[in-house]
């Protein structure tokens, strides 16, 4: 943050010449407000602010601009140093002008932040995906699951956005809804009422959820889980599973699937009483002869479970990566996620679907088409 702020300050202030003292002082004031606003976003997760407060919105947009600008300007500085070193005698403006590079960075940052903002202010896209599962009963052909993840109800995600997501989901008329973590980002007292529209999801086979890392950040995990179950009629699968049957009375044992879910893998690094990812326990009572679908918030959890669990898993549904969310973060996320976005097949025959999520964390900025709800349709795989 210190490097970012220094680079921004040293490169933006000289854009106005020293003679224009008034404008320069004004620019300094704006820049101080901008930097302070960018650094103060953390408070908004912990204090009460009215739903969709403009203050948190303003500060998070500043943070987005700050992050883009800092990264671009650091790259510019490194670029200029290299050029100076390699071609000391070149005088080309494009290669050498600091002012020119600063203006380009500023323009690119504003452009990307504006377009990223328009992504998160628009309705999420619907990503449709057929998934072929071996051993799936023909009675489940066409069974639909809407996968929603990373709603992140919090400082800039309010009730209107949740209502929009619920409307969109209900229009898809799914058989089941899976919420794979990071539903909320704060305290029950502040945010509970903003999550209430989720109670309007009524898929025939129910709404299922697992915890994400953000559910563990406010020391209210149990309170939230109780809220989800009681007020929103969401079944939270905590190292547990449910057998989903198409038709209770007549179906054979094989006309079913096992839906399991685990506590987030973050619980392996934090000690939170009563919470721990345990895939073995989650899958233990899933019958061998029917397909298993596992909800696990992080792709890292999916990777670990695949490496350590003997039980066959047909499909794992995850989120967490936000598909990289925004350019300054993209490569970090890319490098740290075994599965980034979309449908993957693993050698063991398990498929993994990672959604980029319906919302974002922190700055209300996302790259194009990354705010999504996923409509999965299951089909029996043709044996080969
Ligand atoms: C809660 O969800 C279940 C399906 O999981 C459904 O059968 C039940 O009617 C729902 N209850 C309410 C109050 O909506």
- Using the predicted structure, report yes or no on whether residue 167 has a pLDDT greater than 90: yes
Residues 330, 45: Cα–Cα separation, whole Å: 23
Q: State the pLDDT at residue 252.
A: 65
Give the tens place of pLDDT for each residue, 252-288.
677 899 999 999 999 998 888 899 999 999 999 999 9
Same domain, 139 and 67: no
What spacing in Å lies between the alpha carbon of 166 and ligand 1's midpoint? 16
Instruction: List the alpha helices (DSSP H) in 234-361.
Output: 279-284, 299-308, 327-336
Residues 287, 294: Cα–Cα separation, whole Å: 14
Pocket test for ligand 1, best of 177, 178, 196, 202 (most atoms within 8 A of CB): 202
Residues 162, 200: Cα–Cα separation, whole Å: 10
Of 67, 94, 121, which residue sits at a domain end? 121
Q: Residue 40: CB within 6 Å of ligand 1?
A: no
Residues 177, 151: Cα–Cα separation, whole Å: 14
Residue 177, judged by CB atoms within 10 A of its CB (0-12, 13-18, 19+), counts as buried
DSSP 324-375: G-SHHHHHHHHHH-SS-SEEEE-TTS-EEEE---SS-SSSS---TT-SEEEE
Contact 139, 255 (CB under 8 A): yes
What's CA 48's distance to the chain center, in Å? 23
Same domain, 75 and 139: no
For 27, which DSSP code?
Answer: H
C-alpha torsion sign, points 117, 74, 16, 29: positive
For 368, which DSSP code?
Answer: T
Same domain, 43 and 30: yes
- Using the predicted structure, report yes or no on whether residue 41 has a pLDDT greater than 90: yes
Pocket test for ligand 1, best of 166, 201, 206 (most atoms within 8 A of CB): 206
Atom of ligand 1 nearest to the CA of 199: 14
Residues 312, 102: Cα–Cα separation, whole Å: 54
Give 22's contacts (C-beta < 8 A, 6+ positions apart): none
Protein residue with least CA distance to atom 11, ligand 1: 233
What spacing in Å lies between the alpha carbon of 344 and ligand 1's midpoint? 32
- Domain hosting residue 81, numbered range: 2-121
Residues 132, 212: Cα–Cα separation, whole Å: 27
Of 86, 121, 156, which residue sits at a domain end? 121
Atom of ligand 1 nearest to the CA of 207: 5
What spacing in Å lies between the alpha carbon of 201 and ligand 1's midpoint? 9
Same domain, 92 and 227: no
Protein residue with least CA distance to atom 7, ligand 1: 206
Q: Residue 231: CB within 6 Å of ligand 1?
A: no
Protein residue with least CA distance to atom 5, ligand 1: 206
Tell me the mean pLDDT in the region 305-331: 93
CATH number of 207's domain? 3.60.21.10
Percent of the chain clearing pLDDT 70 (strictly above): 98
Q: State the pLDDT at residue 154.
A: 96
Same domain, 137 and 170: yes
What spacing in Å lies between the alpha carbon of 175 and ligand 1's midpoint? 13
Q: State the pLDDT at residue 377.
A: 98
Same domain, 117 and 139: no
Protein residue with least CA distance to atom 2, ligand 1: 206
What spacing in Å lies between the alpha carbon of 228 and ligand 1's midpoint? 13
What spacing in Å lies between the alpha carbon of 202 and ligand 1's midpoint? 7
What spacing in Å lies between the alpha carbon of 262 and ligand 1's midpoint? 22
Q: State the pLDDT at residue 138.
A: 92
Same domain, 96 and 130: no
Element (H, E) at 257: strand 256-261
**Cα first-last separation, the chain:** 55
Q: Work out how many domains the chain is built from and give that number.
A: 2
Lookup: tokens for 181: 């973590």
Average pLDDT over the chain, rounded to an integer: 94
Same domain, 108 and 179: no
Give the tens place of pLDDT for each residue, 95-142.
888 899 999 999 999 999 999 999 999 999 999 999 999 999 999 999
Protein residue with least CA distance to atom 12, ligand 1: 233
Same domain, 145 and 201: yes
Higher pLDDT residue, 254 or 60? 60
Tell me the mean pLDDT in the region 365-379: 96
Same domain, 249 and 297: yes
Same domain, 144 and 277: yes
pTM, two decimals, is: 0.94
Of 121, 153, 185, which residue sits at a domain end? 121
What spacing in Å lies between the alpha carbon of 14 and ligand 1's midpoint? 62
Same domain, 136 and 180: yes
């Amino acid at each position: 943050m210190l490097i970012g702020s220094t680079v921004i300050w040293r490169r933006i202030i000289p854009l106005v010449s020293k003679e224009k003292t008034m404008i320069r002082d004004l620019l300094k004031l704006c820049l101080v407000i901008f930097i302070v606003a960018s650094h103060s976003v953390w408070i908004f997760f912990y204090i009460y602010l009215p739903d969709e407060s403009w203050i948190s919105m303003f500060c998070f947009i500043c943070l987005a601009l700050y992050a883009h600008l800092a990264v671009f300007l650091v790259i510019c500085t490194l670029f200029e140093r290299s050029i100076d070193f390699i071609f000391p005698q070149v005088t080309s403006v494009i290669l050498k002008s600091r002012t020119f590079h600063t203006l380009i960075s500023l323009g690119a940052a504003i452009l990307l932040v504006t377009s990223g903002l328009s992504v998160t202010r628009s309705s999420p896209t619907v990503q449709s995906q057929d998934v072929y599962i071996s051993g799936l009963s023909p009675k489940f052909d066409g069974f639909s699951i809407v996968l929603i993840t990373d709603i992140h109800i919090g400082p800039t995600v309010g009730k209107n956005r949740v209502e929009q997501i619920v409307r969109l989901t209900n229009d898809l008329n799914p058989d089941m809804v899976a919420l794979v973590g990071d539903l909320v980002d704060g305290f029950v007292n502040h945010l509970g009422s903003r999550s209430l529209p989720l109670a309007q999801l009524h898929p025939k086979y129910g709404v299922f959820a697992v915890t994400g890392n953000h559910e563990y950040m406010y020391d209210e995990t149990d309170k939230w889980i109780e809220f989800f179950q009681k007020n929103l009629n969401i079944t939270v699968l905590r190292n547990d599973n449910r057998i989903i049957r198409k038709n209770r009375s007549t179906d054979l044992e094989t006309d079913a699937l096992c839906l399991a879910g685990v506590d987030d893998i973050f619980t392996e690094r934090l000690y939170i009483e009563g919470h721990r990812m345990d895939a073995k326990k989650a899958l233990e009572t899933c019958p061998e002869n029917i397909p298993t679908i596992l909800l696990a918030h992080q792709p890292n959890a999916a990777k670990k479970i695949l490496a350590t669990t003997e039980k066959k898993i047909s499909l794992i549904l995850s989120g967490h990566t936000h598909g990289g969310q925004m350019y300054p973060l993209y490569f970090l996320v890319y490098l740290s996620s075994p599965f980034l976005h979309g449908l993957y097949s693993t050698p063991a025959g398990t498929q993994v679907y990672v959604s980029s999520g319906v919302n974002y964390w922190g700055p209300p900025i996302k790259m194009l088409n990354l705010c999504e709800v996923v409509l999965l349709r299951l089909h029996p795989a043709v044996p080969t």
